[in-house]
Amino acid sequence: MVGTGYWGKNLLRNFHALGALAAFCEVREEARNEYARLYPEASVYADIGELLSSDSIDAAVIATPAETHGALVLQALAAGKHVFVEKPLCLNLEEAEQLRRAAKARGLVLMVGHLLLYHGAFQALKRLVQEGNLGRLRYVYSNRLSLGKIRREENALWSFAPHDVSMILQLTGALPKSVVATGGHYLTPGIADTTLSHLAFPGGVQAHIFVSWLHPFKDQRLVAVGSDGMAVFNDTLPGKDKLALYRHGLGWDGDIPLINRAQAEPVDYDDREPLRSECQAFLDAVAQGSRPPSDAEEGIRVLRVLNACQRSIDIGARVSLDEV
């Protein structure tokens, strides 16, 4: 385990609960001492090279700032370790391809932390779409809004949107043909605090992603609209209330559209902690030599969309995925 900061501490807790935490590396002395007290059975390192040189460690979990991912993942793969890296895989496609090739050449698992792919409510939503419960998928939108956590090293697109991109790609089963995105920076020059990205997919499916850390309340909601129904995954709701199906009907009286409104139907799903499921998926992939749902290929697809959105923000124009 490399990095025990904002998100790393949650990974520490889950891998410990699964009986898989052998060691961790943390450069900050105060944090290193705190987690050594909480997890006394784990070996403690201040240097990643020393951790990776241990023959007793089979896999590494990287939970450090995004700009460090590429170099650290490559270092871990070179040491013969399977790798789980927090999203995004890295920050540019050339480096991502290098990581994918390195993992493949060594027969190692490389998994990206696209957490919401392992959320029971999203998995149930994906089944609704795949089994035709919504009819023909027409439109998907996702909001990921809150007040904070404000960053200065990356913008809101790179901090928040990887989750939404990964879910939308899973629902559509395709990469978008093109994207157009806008962003506004108000706190730190050049760092967008809010972005809106529109994705145009083959076959006419459309999607948009709105992310911001300057929003008065938390809204984490994904909506899928089909020809025969709509579904809402609202991750801010409690318990098992996060997924609902709406079988709204649309008819015609001549050329006048008529809407037949339906009540929300709760949809059952596995409500175990998504992060626990994600960590278990990594352990299973390592043990079985299988591909996890968020493997390097998936990480690269998400990265292509993020790069296209960032380019669109930078140049103020629509960007084809063929350009990135």
| Annotated domain spans of the chain | 8-113+276-292, 117-272+303-323
Query: Who contacts 189 (Cβ-Cβ below 8 Å, separation ≥6)?
Result: none
pLDDT of residue 259: 84
Scan for tokens 């241990």, then name that residue.
54
Record: fold of 8-113+276-292:
Rossmann fold (3.40.50)
- Identity of the residue numbered 286: V
User: What is the total residue count of the chain?
Assistant: 324
The CATH code that applies to domain 117-272+303-323 is: 3.30.360.10
- Distance in angstroms between the alpha carbons of the first and the last residue of the chain: 32
pTM of the model as a whole: 0.94
How far is 77 from 101, CA to CA, in rounded Å?
10
Q: What is the pLDDT of residue 274?
A: 97
pLDDT for the residue numbered 251: 78
Rounded alpha-carbon distances, angstroms, from residue 272 to 46, 120, 231, 236, 286: 33, 7, 21, 15, 21
pLDDT by 10s per residue, the chain, length 324: 999 988 999 999 999 999 999 999 999 999 999 999 999 999 999 999 999 999 999 999 999 999 999 999 999 999 999 999 999 999 999 999 999 999 999 999 999 999 999 999 999 999 999 999 999 999 999 999 999 889 888 999 999 999 999 999 999 999 999 999 999 999 999 999 999 999 999 999 999 999 999 999 999 999 999 999 999 999 999 989 999 999 987 778 888 888 888 899 999 999 999 999 999 999 999 999 899 999 999 999 999 999 999 999 999 999 999 988
| Tokens matching residue 290 | 């299988």
Whole-angstrom distance, CA of residue 110 vs CA of residue 299 = 9
